[in-house]
Amino acid sequence: MSGRAWRAIRGVIIGAGAAVMIAAALLFRVDDWPIYAAFALLLAVLLPLHVDVLPNLVLPMPSLAVTIGFLYIAGLPILLVYQGAYYAALIVLRLLRAALPEPWRSRLPYPVGGGTEAFALPSMLRPGERLLAAAEHSTFTLGLAARLLVVRLLAPEGRPASHPGAMAAAEVAGYVCWGILSSLPILRFQTGLGAGATDRPRAVYQDLGLIMIFALTPFVFLIAQGYVQHGLAGAVVWSLSALALHFTLQRLNERRILVEQQNARLAALNRELEHRERLSAIGKMSSVVSHQMLQQIGVIGIHADLIRNTPADAAPRAAVAQAQANAAAIEDALGSVNRVLTDLLVFSRDLRLNLYAHRLDDLLAGCIAECSPAAAARGVRLRLVCAPDVMATVDKLKMKQAVVNLVRNAIEASPADAEVVVRGALDDGWAEIAVTDRGPGVPDADRDAVFTPFFTTKEHGTGLGLAIASEFTAAHGGRIVLAVANGTSGATFVVRLPVAGPPPRAD
């Protein structure tokens, strides 16, 4: 619907509200002046009392309960008295605010206006906001008029307060009217429910609606029945009892604010803890990387010095052989430096996944092929056991990196002539990959730390291999565990991945 149409609807609602106020003036009864006077005095006491739920959103439960209760006692003219009392209190309090110095000025209570599910603090409105404020007031007025219309239809004779059943139906009609009108984008509080709004304002408005229905309605009935049973004095006494509702809601709201403040402090502490942990990880990373790279640079320097200082009278064949050996050592050292830097780059890589369905045996065969040279150099055999029909939706590159890291660890932990077994299987909707070696195993004290970045028991390790495997597995919605050995040496690392891929992330 276009903006012009919404403006037309808002104009109709404002016109209907004005018509209700004109009817209230025409129905004004001089004989009911004691009721009007008592209501005005009650408003003078109750109007400034409200619960600040959100900035510019308050809940004036006592004055709202009294207004609806007296509506059933004296009819539409109550709306006229309400407006007169409200603006009189507003003028007085504004004058006091202008005259009093701080801090008394900020402590002075301020009256609030009526609405449907939201109550905005009065302020000097800009021209563009005046129509919105008028729409809010008209919505409030029409909700009260709907109540009185229903109760008059169901109880045409006598005072509406004498017919509880008719009042119950009227309350339902009034809340339905407020609910329908407040759902239209014609009110000020709707600006807080735009396309970019969070769920919190919506939840607050919904909670306010429930509070009005279940907490406000009983006091409305008490005020009306107090008038039926004990006259105007009974209505006044039960009106003042609405103060209990105000202080209860105020206490609950203060506790809500306290919990939110505590949650904010807890979130700040968590952020500080995460920051400190990152600094600690950076320090540990710097120590590990510096140690590894300096060690290899030292090796490079030694062998380069040996090449440079080759004796001039050495036999040519022996000199060439020695130079080749030193060059090979330099090449190995450079390879170690490259592996350290590669592990760091892989560990810091973006975890966004490029998911496709892959045959698990093909994936694992590629991992075996990549690790075969390292296994041959150590005299370790690699064996693959995997059914040919197992499929899994994974990021092939990331999962290959994870499994290769596990296999390399198993090769380095295994003695010569040992066997490393890589198994793939399907288990109740999960793809399971197990890498088993026959090395010394993992000590119990280290079992919980082996997946921590930069934790290593190797002399030349960076502690990133298992951390990378764990990160990539978790990104797929899976997990990696160190299985308990059953009376045998070695270790078994088990990767479990959902066959259908990771679950969708909640935004």
Q: What is the pLDDT of residues 61-90, one digit of tens each?
A: 888 889 999 999 988 899 888 888 877 777
* Mean pLDDT score, 335-359: 71
The rounded percent of the chain whose pLDDT value lies above 70 is 78
Distance CA 20, CA 9 (A): 17
The tens digit of pLDDT for each residue in 430-488 reads: 899 999 988 888 877 777 777 776 666 666 566 677 888 888 888 888 888 888 655 45
The size of the chain, in residues, is 507
Distance CA 353, CA 429 (A): 20
CA distances from residue 203 to 42, 54, 186, 210, 256 in whole angstroms, order as listed: 32, 12, 19, 11, 14
pLDDT at 38: 93
Place of tokens 């000097």: 124
Least confident of 82-96, 98-112, 163-177: 98-112
Q: Residue 201 pLDDT more than 70? A: no
pLDDT at 363: 92
Pairing relationship of beta strands 381-386 and 419-427 according to DSSP bridges: parallel
The tens digit of pLDDT for each residue in 276-326 reads: 876 676 666 666 666 667 767 887 888 888 888 877 777 788 878 888 888
Other residues' Cβ atoms within 10 Å of the Cβ of residue 104: 11
pLDDT at 118: 32
Q: Residue 191 pLDDT more than 50? A: no
Least confident of 318-332, 374-388, 477-491: 477-491
Q: Quickly state the pLDDT bin for 202 (edges 50, 70, 90).
A: low
Other residues' Cβ atoms within 10 Å of the Cβ of residue 170: 27
Q: Residue 425 pLDDT more than 60? A: yes
Write 132-138 long-range contacts (CB < 8 A, 24+): 132/186, 132/187, 132/188, 133/188, 134/14, 134/17, 135/10, 135/13, 135/14, 135/186, 135/187, 136/187, 136/188, 136/189, 137/17, 137/113, 138/13, 138/14, 138/16, 138/17, 138/18, 138/20
Mean pLDDT of the chain: 79
pLDDT at 119: 36
Tokens of 463: 């502690």
Q: Residue 195 pLDDT more than 50? A: no
pTM: 0.54
